[in-house]
Amino acid sequence: MRNISRMIVGIVAIPIVVAIIFFLPVDFFIALVMVVAGVGLYEYFSLAPRGLHTGFRVLFAAMGAIFPILGYYGSLTWMVGGVLFVLAILMVFAMRTLSRYEGAFAWIGTIILGFSFVALPLSISIPIITASPYGRGWVLWLVLVVWGGDTGAFYLGTLFGKHKLYPRVSPKKSVEGVIGGMLSAVFVGVIVSLFIRTDFRILEIVILPLVLLLLGQLGDFSESMLKRGAGVKDSGWLLGGHGGILDRIDSFLFAIPFFYFYLLLRS
């Protein structure tokens, strides 16, 4: 039943996301990233220690949803400045609200990690899509490659997985699944490159998916570690069999910054 739910969500979500990235005005993509960043941050804060009550979760999630706008009207520098601005606000909140300052490190660190782990990486996708005539193709290629690699890793790992990759953090992940994910990511990268303009060379089309898949696995493991620390299976319930928004985007959280800086260096 859970696998069927995953398939239904994927079938519905993929055409919508493709349309938003490739066919609709860029404002729709910015709005999508804002929603995903805000909801993802709220789910992250829900995993955090109990000291972060609902009011703070909503407040900081709303602040995180603003980061994509900084990416559109400013640059990566603006987004880093946004993190520092949040840090300054947190210092004031901590001094005003914490009854015991011994918890300041954990409280402030938890929130800054959320902005650095969720809001900042997602917002970096905005400069990618607006940087070049190839921007829409780059972002669509990235999304489909990461999704394709994830899907291949999940289903091929389920069918053939025998050797556990890192059972302490994610018991279901297998070496066979990662290999299947790599092959799926390369296959999707090649197929998508036939239909959209990316200006990638053949070697890039083959090598980049492998790197993105490995970074995606790192993001997946990182979120799994946080969920284990919180004692939950999923970050949320919005996407049915996929769990929460954070469960669906974790593979992008390290892949997007790498992709951005790769494009920056190759230009």
Distance CA 63, CA 74 (A): 16
Q: Are 36 and 94 in contact (CB under 8 A)?
A: no
Q: Are 169 and 221 in contact (CB under 8 A)?
A: yes
Distance CA 127, CA 144 (A): 18
Q: Are 193 and 141 in contact (CB under 8 A)?
A: yes
Is residue 243 left, alpha or beta, with left meaning phi > 0 and alpha meaning psi from -120 to 50?
left
Identity (one letter) of the amino acid at 166? Y
Q: 147 burial class (0-12, 13-18, 19+ CB within 10 angstroms)?
A: buried
CA 172 to chain centre: 20
Of 136 and 98, the structure prediction assigns the larger pLDDT to 136
Q: Are 43 and 97 in contact (CB under 8 A)?
A: no
Number of domains in the chain: 1
- Using alpha carbons, select from 264, 212, 11, 254 the residue that is nearest to residue 122: 254
For the whole model, what pTM was predicted?
0.90
Q: Are 138 and 129 in contact (CB under 8 A)?
A: yes
Mean pLDDT of the chain: 86
The 10s digit of each residue's pLDDT in 86-99 is 888 878 877 777 66
Q: How far is CA 121 from CA 36, 97, 141, 142, 230, in A?
A: 12, 29, 17, 13, 22
Select, from the ranges 86-100, 143-157, 223-237, the one with the highest average predicted confidence (pLDDT): 143-157
Q: What is the DSSP letter of 237?
A: S
Give the angle subtended at the CA of 248 by the CAs of 246 and 251, to the nearest 5°.
90
What mean pLDDT do residues 74-97 have?
78
User: Which residue range(s) make up the domain with 47?
Assistant: 2-266
Check whether 237 has a pLDDT greater than 70. Answer: yes
pLDDT of residue 193: 94
Which residues is 166 bridged to in the sheet?
Answer: 170
Return the residue matching tokens 């706008």.
69
List, in sequence order, the alpha helices (H) in 48-117.
54-65, 67-73, 76-97, 104-114
Check whether 158 has a pLDDT greater than 90. Answer: no
Phi first, then psi: give them for residue 52, nearest 5 degrees. Answer: -95, 95
